[in-house]
Each structure stands twice: as structure tokens, then as C-alpha cells.
Amino acid sequence: MGIMLCDIWPGTRAVVTEIPDTNPLKSRLRQFGLVQGTKLCCRFLSPGGDLAALELRGTVIAVRRKDLSGIMVRRCL
């Protein structure tokens, strides 16, 4: 069972299961290495909750949470 990436909290580890073709940032996220099968960890949410810091492939990127909606992940250990 999957959840949307925009709904995970700091400390949560997950694996990307689906990125919809309708996501306007799909190609940009792919350049950062966010593709199906990528393991990631949510490291931080901004105080307002509008930015998420995600650690993936040895780097941390900050993305607006609204841009992460529709991206499905499954939690992992």
C-alpha cells in the first residue's frame, strides 16, 4: 500500500513507486535522481510546512510539498 510523497514526515524512509506523467516537475526531479525505485528519507519540513528536504542518492534537495503530490511511495525500514 502506498502513500503520497507529500504526506511523509521527517525521519520517514521510503521507496518511490510511481511518478505520474502529469507532474510538471517530472523531468527536473529525474535530473536529481528521483525516479521509480529510488530510496529516500524525509529529513526536514519547513516551519510553514511548504518545503520538504529529501535525502536521496547522497544529496539533499528541497522541494515544495505541493510539487510532490501524486508521487507515490511505500515506506521502508
pLDDT digits (tens, 9 = 90+) for 2-45: 999 999 999 999 999 999 988 888 899 999 999 999 999 999 99
DSSP characters over 10-48? TT-EEEEEE--TT-TTHHHHHHTT--TT-EEEEEEE-TT
pLDDT for res 44: 95
Domain at 18, CATH number: 2.30.30.90
Q: Which three cell numbers stand for residue 24?
A: 510538471
8 A C-beta contact, residue 52 and residue 65: yes
At 77 the pLDDT is 77
Q: How many domains does the chain have?
A: 1
- How confident is the model at residue 22, as a pLDDT? 87
Tell me the residue length of the chain.
77
Output the pTM of the full model: 0.89
67: its cell numbers:
510539487
Q: Which domain holds residue 69?
A: 3-75
